Amino acid sequence: MNGRMTGAKWLAGLAGAALLCAVPRFFSLDYYLHMFVMSEIYAVLAMSLALIVGFSGQVSMGHAAFYGVGAYASALISLKSGLPFWVTIWCAGAVAGLLSFVIGKMVLRLRGHFLAITTAFFGVLVTLILNNWIELTNGPMGVPGIPRPSPISLPGLTLSFETRADYYYLGLVFVGLVAFLLYRLVNSRIGNALIAIRENEELARSIGVDAMAYKVFAFTLGGALAGMAGSFYAHYILFISPVTFTIAESINLLVMIIFGGMTTLFGPVFGAVALTLLPEFLRMAGSLRLVIYGVALVIFIIWLPLGVWGTIKSKWMERRG
């Protein structure tokens, strides 16, 4: 990764940002905006999972658990204490981060499929607890009536969160901040250490990298970010129930980062957006939708194992030599 950004790149970035900000002007239908907001939530989730799986090489099959814990933490705190979203989103990050720290400490000494199955266990366990701890979570009936974020007014711009466009802009900021944070992180010494652990953990340890500490750090940060995404989801949909946060969702997130390519930061974002919009386009196929989705996944993994963005990037690198 070349550290310094050139003028052309800045310009391209600004143009891209302007285009993204203009999206609600072109797609004013609620249905489209809803898909875009969901894409933003999935983009954050996918980036946070890519930090764990793509950059550190630790396969987690329970990521939706942290998403769910964040959503429930934020919703319940704001319902019981009346704190605004702007506070509870941090609470969600803290609760999910704490949980992933504890789980990470327990499971990250396991490798490969052992780690995958153990993280799947915690994912299943969280779903079961959300379903059965009825006094706290209201069980399968879910938590209704979650308040919207309180309005914010910046100079020249007021977001009241009565429309989906407002959520879209907030989501854009959220995605941008997370992407910036992770970009800085993976291009720092910490990022190098994580990649070294992914490539060869014994070798990394032999040159003095405290592998366990770095892995737990990545797992905790990934979990915390997923929790914050959960908070955003809860205060956007205004209703949460355990079915949103099952192991199927964890696998869905893995599919997104594989689809986009998980060893880059743009890959997961691309995967998240593509795989949120694609099933919607497939709606015209009616009940064949999930069949086509499954077959597409099979064909895709056979032909483009590096992911779409990863393949483009490696081809481009090849051509540049």
Partner 1 sequence: MLMVFLQQALNGIILGCIYALIALGLSLIFGILEVANFAHGEFYMLGAFMALFSMSGLGVSFFPALLIAMIGMGIIGAIIERAVFRPIVGKPLINSMLLSFGLSTALANLALLLFGADPQKIESGLADYHLRFFGLHLTAERLMVLVVGVALVTLLAWFIQSTRTGKAMRAVSQDRVAAQLAGINVSRIYTVTFAISGALAAAAGTMVGAMFFVSPEMGFSVTLKCFIIIALGGFGKIRGVIVAAVMIGLAESLGGGFISYAYKDAYPFLLLVLLFMLKPQGLTGGSGR
> Residues in the site for partner 1, rule: CB under 8 A?
53, 59, 106, 110-114, 116-118, 120-121, 124-125, 128, 131-132, 247, 251, 254-255, 258, 287-298, 300-302, 305
Tell the residue number behind the tokens 């919703």, with chain if given. Answer: 75
Non-local CB neighbours of 117 within 8 Å, separated by 6+ positions: 61
CA 41 – CA 186 distance, rounded (Å): 21
Residue 286 structure tokens: 């009616």
E strands of the chain, at which residues?
Answer: 152-154, 157-159
- Tell me the C-alpha to C-alpha distance, in Å, between residue 167 and each of 144, 234, 279, 282: 19, 12, 22, 25
CA 150 – CA 144 distance, rounded (Å): 18
Nearest-Å Rg of the Cα atoms of the chain is 20
Looking at beta carbons only, is 298 or 317 nearer to partner 1?
A: 298
CA 267 – CA 307 distance, rounded (Å): 8
Looking at beta carbons only, is 220 or 246 nearer to partner 1?
A: 246
CA 91 – CA 72 distance, rounded (Å): 11
- Tell me the C-alpha to C-alpha distance, in Å, between residue 63 and each of 59, 121, 229: 10, 11, 12
- In three-state secondary structure terms, 199 is helix
Looking at beta carbons only, is 113 or 184 nearer to partner 1?
A: 113
Residue 244 structure tokens: 């949103």
- We find the least distance from the C-beta atom of residue 249 to partner 1, in angstroms, to be 13
Looking at beta carbons only, is 88 or 118 nearer to partner 1?
A: 118
Looking at beta carbons only, is 178 or 257 nearer to partner 1?
A: 257
- Phi first, then psi: give them for residue 239, nearest 5 degrees: -150, 135
- We find the least distance from the C-beta atom of residue 302 to partner 1, in angstroms, to be 5
- In three-state secondary structure terms, 56 is coil
- We find the least distance from the C-beta atom of residue 305 to partner 1, in angstroms, to be 6
As a three-state string, the secondary structure of 249-295 is HHHHHHHHHHHHCCCCCHHHHHHHHHHHHHHHHHHHHHHHHHHHHHH
